[in-house]
């Protein structure tokens, strides 16, 4: 799963803001008690942030999968078969796509050309075949 630059920037700013808030909280705590915040507080906060990040990533992955399957329903049958195979493997040699899809070499080649034009896949020469990689 890719993370956009905007989301990454927001996350960095949020973590920086949390650090500033902890500094302010630590200052107030030192004024009241004369001692800095216990290390357990920082550990619990780090653990809570890690769990929160994991939950966000899981939900984002689930949403991405749902969106992908909605897109697959719209694709023509030949394209759907090839994209479904590439979703499972991420990259595959073109001759294996022919064997796994049950489509002819010509039909796979033409379908891959259409998908490549729309930047859904990327083909790289690999000996007598091509390595096909899903880009979405």
Contact yes or no for 78/120 (Cβ under 8 A): no
Tens of pLDDT, residue by residue over 56-97, are 777 776 767 777 777 788 889 999 999 989 888 888 999 999
Instruction: Report domain extents, the chain.
Output: 5-73, 75-134
Indicate the SS3 state at residue 118.
coil
Q: Which of 1-5, 9-13, 102-106 has the lowest mean pLDDT?
A: 1-5
pTM of the predicted model, to two decimals? 0.55
75-134 maps to CATH 1.10.10.10: yes
Q: Which residues contact 30 (CB under 8 A, 6 or more apart)?
A: 36
């Amino acid at each position: 799963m890719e993370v956009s630059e905007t989301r990454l920037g927001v996350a960095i700013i949020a973590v920086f803001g949390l650090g500033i808030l902890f500094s302010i909280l630590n200052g107030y705590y030192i004024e009241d008690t004369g001692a800095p915040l216990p290390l357990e507080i920082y550990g619990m906060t780090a653990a809570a942030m890690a769990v929160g990040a994991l939950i966000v990533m899981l939900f984002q992955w689930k949403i991405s999968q749902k969106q992908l399957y909605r897109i697959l329903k719209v694709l023509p049958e030949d394209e759907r078969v090839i994209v479904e195979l590439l979703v499972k493997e991420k990259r595959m040699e073109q001759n294996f796509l022919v064997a796994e899809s049950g489509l002819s070499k010509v039909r796979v080649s033409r379908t891959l050309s259409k998908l490549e034009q729309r930047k859904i896949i990327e083909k790289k020469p690999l000996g007598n075949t091509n390595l096909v990689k899903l880009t979405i």
